[in-house]
Amino acid sequence: MRRRILVAMSGGVDSSVAAALLAREGHDVIGATMKTFCYRETPGPTKTCCGLDGITDARRVASHLGIPHYVFDVEEEFTRDVIDDFVGEYGRGRTPNPCVRCNSNTKFRDLLSRAVALGCDGIATGHYARLERRGAPTLLRGSDREKDQSYFLWGLPAEALSRLHFPLGALGKGEVRKRARDLALATADKPESQEICFVPVGHYRRFLETRLPPGHAALTPGPLITTRGDVVGQHRGYAGYTVGQRKGLGGGFSEPLYVLEIRPATREIVVGRREELYSSRMSVGALNWLVPDPPGEGRSVRVQIRHRAPDAPAVLLSVGVGSLELEFETPQRNVSPGQSAAFYDGPVLLGGGRISGSARKGAGSQ
Residue 361 CA to residue 85 CA, distance in Å, equals 30
Taking phi over 0 as left and psi of -120 to 50 as alpha, with beta for the rest, 135 belongs to left
Residue 164 CA to residue 3 CA, distance in Å, equals 12
- The neighbour count for residue 188, using CB atoms within 10 Å, is 18
**Is 197 marked active-site?**
yes
Cα 282 to the center of its chain, rounded Å: 19
Helix (H) or strand (E) holding 80: none
Residue 14 CA to residue 30 CA, distance in Å, equals 16
Residue 172 CA to residue 179 CA, distance in Å, equals 11
Residue 83 CA to residue 64 CA, distance in Å, equals 33
DSSP state of 153: G
Closest C-alpha to 352, from 220, 207, 170, 154 = 154
- Indicate which residue of 49, 50, 102, 120 is catalytic: 102
C-alpha dihedral, 167 to 172 to 174 to 176, nearest 10°: 0
- Indicate which residue of 49, 50, 99, 197 is catalytic: 197
Residue 303 CA to residue 340 CA, distance in Å, equals 10
Q: At what angle do helices 13-24 and 52-65 cross, to 10 degrees?
A: 20
Task: Tell me the pairing of strands 324-333 and 258-263.
Answer: unpaired
C-alpha dihedral, 79 to 153 to 13 to 41, nearest 10°: 10
Q: What are phi and psi of 89, to 5 degrees?
A: -65, -45
Q: What is the Cα Rg of the chain in Å?
A: 22
Report whether 94 contacts 104 (CB < 8 A).
Answer: no
Q: Amino acid identity of 218?
A: A
Please give the positions annotated as active site.
102, 197
